[in-house]
Amino acid sequence: MAFDPRASYRVGDQVVLRREAFGALAYDLSTRKLRVLRDPDLVSVLERLDGTSSAADAVASVDAGRSRVLLAALAKLEREGLIGVV
């Protein structure tokens, strides 16, 4: 299934985000993978993905001018299993 910015997403149940000065660390408890997220705007978008609004809405609420970049990053995170459709 391809990433759909109109769909509602949320961070996976087994994923822990920890904010850092550079962005955040994302640790997946199920796969034991640690990801370094170096974009504070992306971290803000991830924090807004609560399953009630679309990914596009979450991106627009952070920085609509960077929507293409942020949506591409979300698509990658979905392929990696960090986020999922609600």
Per-residue model confidence as pLDDT tens for the chain (86 residues): 699 999 999 999 999 999 999 999 999 999 999 999 999 999 999 999 999 999 999 999 998 799 999 999 999 999 999 999 99
pTM over 0.85: yes
Q: Assign residue 34 a region: left if phi > 0, alpha if psi is -120 to 50, beta otherwise?
A: beta
